[in-house]
Structure 1
Amino acid sequence: MATALDMLFNLKEPFGDRNRAATQVAMKALMNTQMTEETPIRGYILKMLSHLNEIEILGDELDGETQIDIVLMSLPKSFEQFHLNYNMNKRLYSLTELLTELQETEGLFKKRVQVNMAEKGSSSKSKGKKKKKKKKAANAVGFQGGVKKT
């Protein structure tokens, strides 16, 4: 072979299909990845970024909007409002900006859950105490002035 370009071309011919197969495997991994409710958003987005980087290294490239759309479609239902706001406001994020926004949203979810748990915990305890007091008061009245049926 006369030049390095000829050698490269000849090597791509038999091994090019492997690169395509590897790209298909990486794309399948990206498209089949779905976040569960319990998964921390940061780790999940980093996992998606690694899939996207692998595809890019293998020679294929997805534009930024498509990458964001793929990530947003893979989020659980708890992020539906975030997805809706993204579409309604026609925001354009980079992947790092998306990560930051999603982390803020996740923090709001956690605060909301803590507040709801505190409200449920305090209200259920107070109701239980009131019921016991009412029962004791009813029993006391029943024994003092109650009439037994025979």
Structure 2
Amino acid sequence: MARCYILASMKNVLQHQYQSMTTAYNMLESLKEMFGEQNRPIKQMSMKALLTTKMVEVTSIREHVLKIMSLLNELEILGAVIDKESQVEMVLQTLSDSFQQFCLNYNMNKMDLSLMKLLNEL
């Protein structure tokens, strides 16, 4: 039944190519091989955006942190595994120089914040 649904949802060109496959599992594995790696360039672009983002002084801290959180979420959806502590560190690294004192306090006091708590603290 699953095989029939998969075939029915395909374009005619793919349908003809996959008709000879006997199981839905084989079809899905083949489709994964054909289309599965397309998120790699998107993941790389998202990672580059995250690593090159630096807060501009005129930007509100809320907008900036939400932008970083959005990039982190996008990477997570694309399969990147970044632990919560590293996510907070990434946000801190993108802040403008006016937040140096906050970063110093964060490190000196060994604060343990989630991204939402960090946003509220900033």
Which residue of structure 2 aligns with residue 81 of structure 1? 101
> Counterparts of 1:6 and 1:87 in 2: how far apart (Å)?
51
> Counterparts of 1:7 and 1:72 in 2: how far apart (Å)?
45
TM-score, normalization by structure 1: 0.64
Deviations 1:29-58 (A, max 9, x none): 111111011110111111111111111111
- The alignment of Structure 1 onto Structure 2 pairs a total of residues equal to 102
Which residue of structure 1 aligns with residue 36 of structure 2? 16
C-alpha change, 1:84 and 1:2, in structure 2 (3 Å) is farther
Which residue of structure 2 aligns with residue 61 of structure 1? 81
Bigger proportion of residues as helix: 1
Deviations 1:40-94 (A, max 9, x none): 0111111111111111111212110111111100001110111111111111110
> Counterparts of 2:22 and 2:103 in 1: how far apart (Å)?
55
> Counterparts of 2:55 and 2:90 in 1: how far apart (Å)?
12
> Counterparts of 2:104 and 2:25 in 1: how far apart (Å)?
49
AA of the residue aligned to 1:61: V
Asked if 1:32 is matched to 2:52, the reply is yes
Unaligned ranges ≥5, structure 2: 1-20
State the structure with more CA Rg: 1
Asked if 1:51 is matched to 2:41, the reply is no
Aligned-residue identity in percent: 55
Among 111, 116, 122, which residue is 1:91 paired with? 111
AA of the residue aligned to 1:88: M
AA of the residue aligned to 1:44: H
TM-score, normalization by structure 2: 0.77
User: RMSD between aligned alpha carbons?
Assistant: 1.3
